[in-house]
């Protein structure tokens, strides 16, 4: 079986499934948040903070954050492995690709930690 | 791999092609995805400032009234809308619907039209 050491699930089928499951979570969360904003046109700070203080909203937000990180990594991995190739970038392609992928992983990790700090820090 | 020639000819030079609408819809899905990865930073920053305190919430409301801020948020929302619609099209195609040539083109056209309408509505909502 062909495996790639930088792919998220170490196999294409796993990445494919994680990408779709996380997409459904992210779509549901997006509709949930925008539905709330749509229903509360003149939202006050107290209402907004109370909304995110709700345990269920916090858990859903954490699930969305986790899904976003997995989804972004698989997507960026696909894009970087498609375009940062020897054919398009020359001999240094592997080094460039790994550097960009590491930078993407670092930003993803920062988003994750930051997101948790926001959700549990107010 | 070492005994395989690294100068193997490439059959398809995509740069010389006239691409079908399905290609543009697919490339835009990737572009909007990469853009959203950066946009996530903005969305997290908005969330952090909106939840921190009543004062930071008021300051955020103030700074979001500028045209530049509204445009930045609209761009992220437009990318989110396009990426979502194109993603739903993917899920529908995963179920085996619209996988043939005609269905693919129709789905691509539908994705573009839907996204433009929703992005315009998002713009109206912001302004």
Residue A4 has pLDDT above 80, yes or no: no
Is the pLDDT reported for residue B16 higher than 90? no
Tokens of residue A95, six digits:
């080094």
Question: In whole angstroms, what is the distance from residue A91 CA to residue A76 CA?
Answer: 21
pLDDT at B14: 67
Using the Cβ of B126 and the Cβ atoms of chain A, whether some distance falls under 8 Å is answered with no
B54-77 pLDDT, tens per residue? 999 999 999 999 999 999 999 999
ipTM: 0.93
Closest by Cβ to A76, choosing from B6, B34, B47: B34
Put simply, whether B52 touches A (Cβ < 8 Å) is yes
Task: Note whether B127 contacts A: Cβ–Cβ < 8 A.
Answer: no
pLDDT value for A8: 82
Residue from B78, B87, B93, B127 to probe the interface with A (highest A Cβ count within 10 Å): B87
pTM of the model: 0.91
Which residues of chain B lie closer than 8 angstroms to A30, CB-CB?
80, 84
């Amino acid at each position: 079986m062909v495996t790639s050491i930088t792919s998220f699930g170490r196999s294409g089928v796993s990445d494919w499934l994680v990408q779709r499951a996380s997409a459904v979570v992210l779509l549901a969360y997006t509709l949930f948040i925008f539905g709330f904003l749509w229903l509360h046109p003149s939202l006050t700070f107290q209402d907004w903070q109370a909304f995110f203080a709700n345990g269920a909203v916090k858990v859903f937000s954490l699930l969305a954050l986790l899904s976003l990180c997995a989804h972004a990594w698989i997507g960026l991995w696909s894009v970087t492995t498609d375009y940062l190739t020897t054919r398009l970038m020359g001999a240094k392609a592997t080094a460039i690709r790994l550097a960009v992928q590491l930078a993407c992983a670092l930003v993803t990790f920062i988003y994750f930690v930051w997101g948790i700090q926001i959700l549990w820090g107010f | 791999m070492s005994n395989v020639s690294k100068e193997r000819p490439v059959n398809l030079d995509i740069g010389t092609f006239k691409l079908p609408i399905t290609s543009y819809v697919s490339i835009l899905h990737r572009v909007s995805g990469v853009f959203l990865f950066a946009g996530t930073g903005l969305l997290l920053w908005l969330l952090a400032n909106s939840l921190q305190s009543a004062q930071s919430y008021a300051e955020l409301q103030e700074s979001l009234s500028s045209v530049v801020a509204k445009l930045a948020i609209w761009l992220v929302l437009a990318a989110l809308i396009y990426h979502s619609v194109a993603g739903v099209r993917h899920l529908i195609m995963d179920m085996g619907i619209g996988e043939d040539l005609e269905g693919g083109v129709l789905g691509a056209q539908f994705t573009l039209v839907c996204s433009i309408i929703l992005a315009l509505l998002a713009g109206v909502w912001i302004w």
